[in-house]
Amino acid sequence: MDPAKPDAEQPAKCPQCGTPLSGKALAGLCPACLLQAGVQAETVTGPAPSRFEPPSVAELAAKFPQLEILELIGKGGMGAVYKARQTQLNRLVALKILPPHIGEDPAFAERFTREAKALAMLNHPGIVTIYDFGRADGLFYFFMEFVDGVNLRQLLQVGRISAREALVIVPQICDALQYAHDQGIVHRDIKPENIMLDRRGRVKVADFGLAKINGDAAAIAPAGSTSSESGSASSPTPVLTESGRIIGTPKYMAPEQKEHPDAVDHRADIYALGVVFYQMLTGELPGKPLEPPSSKVQLDVRLDEVVLRALEKKPELRYQQASVFKTQIETIAGTPAAASRPPESPTGRSSPAASPAVTGEDLSISKWAFALFLAGCLGTPLLAMLRPQAEKAPILFGGMSLALAVVLGVKSWRAWLGKFVVVGSGALCAFFVVYAAVVMPGAEERLREKASVEQDHAKQTQAARIAAQPVTGETPAIIVAPADESPQNRHRQSAANAANHAGFSGPAAETSAVPPAQLLASQPAVVVETYPAAGAVDVPAGETEIRVRFSKPMSAGSWSWATAWENSGPDFIGSPHYLADHRTCVVKVRLQPGKFYGWWLNSEPFKNFRDAAGQPAVPFLFTFQTNPN
């Protein structure tokens, strides 16, 4: 009898699940296991160890009498997970065991205890909790929280997750990662298999087996995955993986995780989550070159910027915290899309050119553009206040700042901040151009016109004063108008030109020739004489009459006495009235000793001193001071 014949008659079995194989099975696996192997992501940690066969439920029950072992729910090259019940607490747990050969490393037990304690400290509703750990009959084990649900990989195999569902799931993952990062722990193996969803839709991040703890690469073999850890102790540092070994799942690993595994920090988890997010939105892994998600499926184009920033090759250009990643997603989920969705192609997919990718360089340039925009907006008025004499310097500074902001904004047009800077800076530049070309020359012209009007007014006032002098046969005295036509000089001029007329006592005025009568009629009335004399400093206190004589007859009952400052007027005893000549206005007052008085006889708001023709008199500031005794 052929000794090999009995073996040939026995059907071959699948080494993964034990299903009988018929004919020549591809790769020695049944179709179901072969399909599973095709979609399963491998976790790479080092050289592949010998194959691990998990013990049966009955064999394991003898090693853990405190548990009721229910079933094997997952296995891999470096571990297995069983569903069990803690009989004393009557709660379901997940029992994870490591292969026996792991314990051959003499230093493994110490490292296992130290790292398991660190992982057990992760107490967060979004992280699978470790209840207990230890060693039983040569097997290292963990008791973990049992999640009654599915992992994200299983959901993705059913079909693409909707963008709305992704916007609910990813912020929960960010919460869990931020908590772990705050505790100094980096997961280093974020992938769909390690993201669980229970029956209530709550997210649980599982399998911190490859976590980097407190700056050291501490890897405990993940259960239910195809990880392979040699467990060697060649590294001088107290870690569970060799220094420099690539750890993680290649398709989800950040570039620095492949190139410099010892220098990996929490931003590698953000990159991996970006890959998962991309896969949830599109149903595909990111390709080369990297295309925005909206170029593959129809969704809110604002998600492109969030996903592409998480997938930046340089860690410094990514989100620096998982909490910031979460905030960006929640902002988009909570606000309607600002722009319409990209147009669809005839095949039902969005056009790849509909939404250009926003890179980290765009964001960086747009921030510089915004800084120049603020400098132009705020620096221009500040410079104008600090250096009022430099009229054009603030405008030049603001214009140059905004021009540079426009240039940088155009270069970062794909970022929303770049668009804002271009529009805002363009509007302000247009304003500065109009102001410099129209407003400033107009203001200068108005100042010149005002100076010309004041000069003409001064000439008319001087001519009116000359016309008010009486006719004499003597040689006229020459009265020279002062170059300075300030109110003080006008007071001094009025006092110098005062004449002795009926009812007045005071210094005689110089006389001048009489100009033609028509000149007098065309000029506004001016004050030619006052009592007390304008500018006097020794006026007696007590009751007295204030007299003001004009250059021409005034309209009866028209006057305007306005205080020059607060409490600068005397106490009026009677009402103002004109004498018979209709040129002299008289009012009786009571003066206090040692006080400085001042009135405006006509002013800008009040011009009731008018001549017989109704023309307002030239404003006159009348001041004097009483004797202190």
Q: Residues 6 or more apart from 415 whose CB is under 8 A from it?
A: 305, 358, 362, 363, 365, 366
Q: Identify the DSSP state of 435.
A: I
pLDDT at position 600 over 50 = yes
pLDDT at position 341 over 60 = no
pLDDT at position 605 over 80 = no
Distance CA 147, CA 193 (A): 13
Q: Is 602 left (phi over 0), alpha (psi -120 to 50) or beta?
A: left
Structure tokens, 67: 């548990």
pLDDT of residue 562: 86
Q: Residues 6 or more apart from 287 whose CB is under 8 A from it?
A: none
- pLDDT band of residue 406 (cuts 50, 70, 90) is confident
Average pLDDT, the chain: 74
Read off φ and ψ for residue 138, nearest 5 degrees: 85, -5
- pLDDT band of residue 454 (cuts 50, 70, 90) is low
Q: Which residue has the tokens 């007052």?
A: 589
What is this structure's pTM?
0.46
pLDDT at position 292 over 70 = yes
Read off φ and ψ for residue 165, nearest 5 degrees: -65, -40
Q: Residues 6 or more apart from 107 whose CB is under 8 A from it?
A: 233, 238
In one-letter notation, the amino acid at residue 358 is V
Q: Which residues are part of the catalytic machinery? A: 189
pLDDT of residue 201: 85
C-alpha dist (Å) from residue 173 to 177, 276, 325, 332, 607 = 6, 11, 10, 17, 79
More confident residue, 627 or 512: 627
pLDDT in tens, 205-252: 987 755 666 544 344 333 333 333 323 222 333 333 444 455 668 889
- Which residue, 144, 278, 134, 269, is CA-closest to 210? 269
3-state secondary structure 165-192: HHHHHHHHHHHHHHHHHHCCEECCCCCH
- Which residue, 407, 377, 379, is CA-closest to 393? 379
C-alpha dist (Å) from residue 469 to 473, 520, 551, 613 = 13, 10, 8, 20
pLDDT at position 459 over 90 = no
79 and 222 in contact (C-beta within 8 Å)?
A: yes
The least confident of 209-223, 360-374, 427-441, 588-602 is 209-223
Q: Residues 6 or more apart from 383 whose CB is under 8 A from it?
A: 390, 393, 394, 397
341 and 281 in contact (C-beta within 8 Å)?
A: no
Structure tokens, 510: 């110089």
**Long-range pairs of 127-130 with CB within 8 A, sequence gap ≥ 24:** 127/176, 127/179, 127/180, 127/204, 127/205, 127/206, 127/208, 128/94, 128/196, 128/204, 128/205, 128/206, 128/207
Q: Residues 6 or more apart from 28 whose CB is under 8 A from it?
A: 14, 15, 21
Distance CA 167, CA 9 (A): 55
pLDDT in tens, 363-396: 778 888 888 888 878 877 777 777 665 666 777 7
How many alpha carbons fall within 13 Å on the CB side of residue 329?
28
Distance CA 415, CA 192 (A): 30
Between CA 165 and CA 171, with CA 169 as vertex, the angle to 5 degrees is 125
Distance CA 292, CA 308 (A): 7
Distance CA 231, CA 103 (A): 8
More confident residue, 364 or 355: 364
pLDDT in tens, 141-169: 888 889 888 889 988 888 768 888 999 99
Residue 136 exposed, middle or buried by CB count within 10 Å (0-12, 13-18, 19+)? middle
145 and 129 in contact (C-beta within 8 Å)?
A: yes
Structure tokens, 611: 């001549």
pLDDT in tens, 50-73: 567 888 898 888 889 999 999 998
- Which residue, 213, 268, 266, 269, is CA-closest to 241? 213
- pLDDT band of residue 595 (cuts 50, 70, 90) is very high
pLDDT of residue 137: 83
pLDDT in tens, 480-497: 333 444 444 444 444 444
Distance CA 260, CA 244 (A): 7
Distance CA 64, CA 141 (A): 10
Distance CA 99, CA 448 (A): 97
Distance CA 541, CA 135 (A): 113
pLDDT in tens, 75-122: 766 678 899 999 899 999 999 888 887 766 666 777 677 767 777 788
Query: Please, what's the largest Cα pairwise distance for the chain?
Result: 171
Residue 499 exposed, middle or buried by CB count within 10 Å (0-12, 13-18, 19+)? middle
C-alpha dist (Å) from residue 308 to 175, 252, 278, 288, 294 = 20, 14, 9, 13, 11
The least confident of 157-161, 211-215, 276-280, 612-616 is 211-215
404 and 411 in contact (C-beta within 8 Å)?
A: no
Read off φ and ψ for residue 203, nearest 5 degrees: -90, 140
